[in-house]
Structure 1
Amino acid sequence: MTRQSLKQSLLLQLAVIYTRYLIGGAFVFASLIKIKGQRFTQIPDDGGHSVGHFFEMMYQSGLYWQFLGWAQLVAGLLLLTQRYAMLGAVMFAGIIGNIFVITLSYDFGYTPIITGLMLLATVALLLWDWNRLRVMLNLPPREEATSSLFESPLWAVVGAVLFAFTAGYRLFIDQYNFLLWAGGCVGVGVMALLVAWRQSRVLRMER
């Protein structure tokens, strides 16, 4: 199967769109607590080479803690926009790569599995946009056709809804329920799929 035929796969296109939503939304969710100047975790500081001590040192830095939050917020937002998702993936790769190494360096339990999967997902997104990213190696970009569904402005609207929901929930509710937030995001995603399915049916009927 050629790269062009892969880019034409509707399932693969939807996988790319929703992978951007998934990791972008996760970064937005994690960033806002740092921007608010609050602790990300309540793990006790045992001193020395411990996870709690590491997080407490970053939190106590103040400016660096908030800088991390803003970097995560921008990367996540760019991914959610879909339109600027390639730039978001490039930015996300540097941040999640750093986080992955940190989770390997300390006793984070099974967290490296999660961060490793997020890193692999980011690499997959970069490969999806490789024909545009190749200019970084002084190679000419190549145009690739996808589909009208993939290019639909619907996905940017959905990304804006997900960002507004996540930002509002994280900024104004301190005692948050993770499952409630995740359920709301899943609901928005399912509704978007239904709208996209209806749009595709209308387009086929018009033809």
Structure 2
Amino acid sequence: MTKLEQYYYEAKGNKWFHYFTVCCRVALAFGFIPSGIVKIMGERFTALPANHPLGHYFDALHQTGFYYTFIGVGQLLTAILLIIPRTALLGAIMYFPAILNICILAYATRFEGTRITTLMLLANIYLLCWDYERIKYVLPFKRSNTEIDAAKKKASTSKFPFAFFGGVLATVVLVIVINIFIFEVRPGNSLIECENGCVDSKYPKASKEFCNCIYNQGKPLDKCLEEYKQAKEKEK
């Protein structure tokens, strides 16, 4: 951990890491502001049709009354805390369970937003790591003052961290590529989008039946996936 702390304090003294941190905070904040305002105003959050797997969820959430408003207030408050430097850590801590839930929900419903929610989650984790010095006291690691003081002695630098930003770029590309191949079939955001995806599918007929099952019949995602597997076997 001493070597990791050495790298951490080197990063804390680098202006490029500071710029990247600010960008992450602002980007995450603006990711919550619009959705928070929509919920506070009591409007439906998304244009997804009611028969879409995630549309089912949002419709039910919209009918929860003041709980729906409470979520919007929480998102807006979290965004404001992220933007203010003094409260940025509190905002990052509050943001984490929310974006983790959203990310898992996106994957569970095969939503097209899996890419952006994954990147938002990773950015949030980065912000938590950025404030490691402030949250390390709740972590189960022992630190001697000598080791910590030695790690802090590294001089500040303005050298551009090519390795770090190269890793960031590689991570973004990896998330996009993985999300292209992780699911064999997705419901898309509309019936037209779903059917357009059937053109390049190995099993176009089975894919169209899947889209019909989701949007026209309104069956649950698991049921439609089961029927898709059966139709795929017939099409082979």
Q: TM (normalized to structure 2)?
A: 0.56
Give yes or no for the alignment of 1:64 onto 2:67. Answer: yes
Question: Map of 1:3-14 to 2, 5 A cutoff?
Answer: 3-14=8-19
Report the RMSD for the aligned CA atoms in angstroms.
Answer: 2.4
Moved over 6 A (4+): 138-147
Partner of 1:88: 91
Task: Give the match for residue 120 of structure 2.
Answer: 118
One-letter amino acid of the structure 2 residue matched with residue 30 of structure 1: S
Q: CA deviation at 1:107?
A: 2.7
Q: SS of the residue aligned with 1:40?
A: coil
Return the alpha-carbon distance in structure 2 between the equivalents of residues 2 and 116 of structure 1: 25
Aligned length: 144
Identity of aligned residues (%): 33
Mapped to 2, the partners of 1:2 and 1:57 lie a distance apart of 46
| 1:41 aligned partner | 46
Q: Distance in 2 between matches of 1:138 and 1:132?
A: 14
Larger-gyration structure (1/2): 2
Specify which of 32, 35, 39 is matched with residue 37 of structure 2.
32
Shift of 1:136: 2.1
Partner of 1:179: none
CA shift for structure 1 position 31: 0.5
Q: How does 1:68-147 map to 2 (within 5 A)?
A: 68-109=71-112, 111-137=113-139
**Stretches of structure 1 lacking an aligned partner (at least 5 in a row):** 148-207
Counterpart amino acid of 1:115?
Answer: T
User: Deviation string for 1:78-97 (max 9, x for gaps)?
Assistant: 00112210000000001000
AA aligned opposite 1:81: I
1:42-91 CA distances to partner (integer Å, 9 max, x unpaired)? 22212xx7121111000011122111111111111100112210000000
The whole-number CA distance in structure 2 between the counterparts of 1:65 and 1:43 is 17
Q: CA deviation at 1:134?
A: 1.4
Alpha-carbon deviation of 1:138?
6.7
Question: Is 1:16 matched up with 2:21?
Answer: yes
Distance in 2 separating the partners of 1:62 and 1:106: 23
Q: Normalising by structure 1, what TM-score?
A: 0.64
- Within 2, Cα distance between the matches of 1:11 and 1:116? 23
Whether the 8 Å CA contact 1:25–1:80 is kept in 2: the answer is no
User: What does residue 164 of structure 1 align with?
Assistant: none
Amino acid at match of 1:120: L
Consecutive unaligned residues of structure 2, counting only runs of 5 or more, are: 1-5, 157-236
What is the CA–CA distance in structure 2 between the aligned matches of 1:67 and 1:102, rounded to whole Å? 19
Distance in 2, Cα, partners of 1:101 & 1:63: 24
Contact residue 100 and residue 119 of structure 1 kept, 8 A: yes
